[in-house]
Amino acid sequence: MTRSARAFWFTSRLAGEIRAVEVTEPGPGEVLVRTRFSAVSRGTETLVFNGGVPESQYPIMRAPFQDGDFPWPVKYGYLNVGVVEQGPSELRGRSVFCLYPHQTHYVVPESAVTVLPDAVPPGRAVLAGTVETAVNALWDAAPLIGDRVAVVGGGMVGCCVTRLLARMPGVRVQLVDVDPSRAAVAEALGAGFASPEEAEGECDLVIHASATEAGLTRSLELLAPEGEVIELSWYGDRRVSVPLGEFFHPRRLAVRSSQVGSVSPARRGRRTFADRIALALDLLADPAFDALITGESPFEELPSVMPRLASGEIAAMCHRITYP
């Protein structure tokens, strides 16, 4: 038996549509989930929407339950919260997070869903994938008590990192962004705020998440001698220049990549992907994360909302999608 569902597809550059899809009945070890909320991961999904995924990265950039192939048409996304309608008795009726695209119903292995802690509202849980990225970044960065840290780029990832750092004892954390409206978000996250020109330097660590060449350059400028930039930005097919002259070698600076596709080497022997997403959901019991959800639209409006998010007409940080 099958049932009808609806899914959002990227169909061409800056264009998408809602399509009918058939969902099979769940088999042994599977669950049927009815979506309550999804969220647009603006940086990555805008890049896909623009056709900016390099051909060499097609296999790596596939979402866990993506349909179709890059560049288009693709069903893409990975921030989904729903309710289990069919499956094992211990999961039926439970709210779960899954790395699934924007779709009204879907069937996945029960191992692909994580039950929400009682203290985490479903509407906030759409941030789980982004908090998971922040957790991995801090496993890579390994900040110490008393460190001076800047987070350059106040998008979803940068703000999630900022909140986790703000909860660490003795850490001075400053969110750095060109948008002055991010000051209110930084305050809600318990962190300081500065424009790139006014940011405090002599940092032990800088987390870069602005996805701009200027942001990476400023990140290096903010470091103290022997400091390190953790690079979280995904540039797609864009080339980025890094200033390796001037002070880079005399100060013995470092730039290191971090990305969520694998568990940080610092924890890989002791933590699984399931451990990491469970930790991210536990951390979302913190109501400060609500400051990152800055817009909401019904699922039926996604074809018109996505181009406006991509163009910046809708200046959302995390844009949540609601389902009937």
User: Which distant-in-sequence residues (6+ apart) come within 8 Å of 244 by Cβ?
Assistant: none
Distances (CA, A) of 40 to 113, 264, 280, 292, 321: 19, 25, 18, 12, 8
Which residues partner with 319 through β-bridges?
Answer: 40, 295
Average pLDDT, the chain: 96
| Peptide linkage before 71 cis (omega within 30 of 0) | yes
Whether 193 and 186 have beta carbons less than 8 Å apart is answered as yes
Q: What percent of the chain has pLDDT over 90?
A: 95
Whether 3 and 105 have beta carbons less than 8 Å apart is answered as yes
What pLDDT is stored for residue 237 in this prediction?
A: 84
pLDDT tens digits for 179-212?
999 999 999 999 999 999 999 999 999 999 999 9
What pLDDT is stored for residue 201 in this prediction?
A: 98
What pLDDT is stored for residue 183 in this prediction?
A: 98
Q: Which amino acid is at 184?
A: A
Q: Which of 42-51, 107-116, 158-167, 217-226 has the lowest mean pLDDT?
A: 42-51
What pLDDT is stored for residue 278 in this prediction?
A: 98
Whether 258 and 230 have beta carbons less than 8 Å apart is answered as yes
**Higher per-residue pLDDT: 41 or 175:** 175
Whether 44 and 234 have beta carbons less than 8 Å apart is answered as yes
Kind and range of the H or E run holding 251 = none
pLDDT tens digits for 298-319?
999 999 999 999 999 998 899 9
Q: At what angle do helices 42-49 and 156-166 cross, to 10 degrees?
A: 170
pLDDT tens digits for 92-149?
999 999 999 999 999 999 999 999 999 999 999 999 999 999 999 999 999 999 999 9
What pLDDT is stored for residue 43 in this prediction?
A: 85
Distances (CA, A) of 111 to 42, 79, 85, 91, 115: 26, 16, 15, 11, 10
pLDDT tens digits for 35-93?
999 999 888 999 999 999 999 999 999 999 999 999 999 999 999 999 999 999 999 99
Q: For the chain, how far is it from start to end, CA to CA, in angstroms? A: 23
Q: Which amino acid is at 173?
A: V
- Model pTM score: 0.96
Q: What is the mean pLDDT of residues 254-260?
A: 96
One DSSP character per residue, 41-87 reads: -HHHHHHHHTT---GGGTTTT--TT-EE-SSSSEE----EEEEEEES
Whether 71 and 35 have beta carbons less than 8 Å apart is answered as no
How many other β-carbons are positioned within 10 Å of the β-carbon of residue 305?
23
Query: In the numeric block, which tokens belong to residue 88?
Result: 């094992």
Domains and CATH numbers, the chain: 2-127+284-322 (3.90.180.10), 130-257 (3.40.50.720)
pLDDT tens digits for 258-310?
999 999 999 999 999 999 999 999 999 999 999 999 999 999 999 999 999 99
Whether 225 and 173 have beta carbons less than 8 Å apart is answered as no
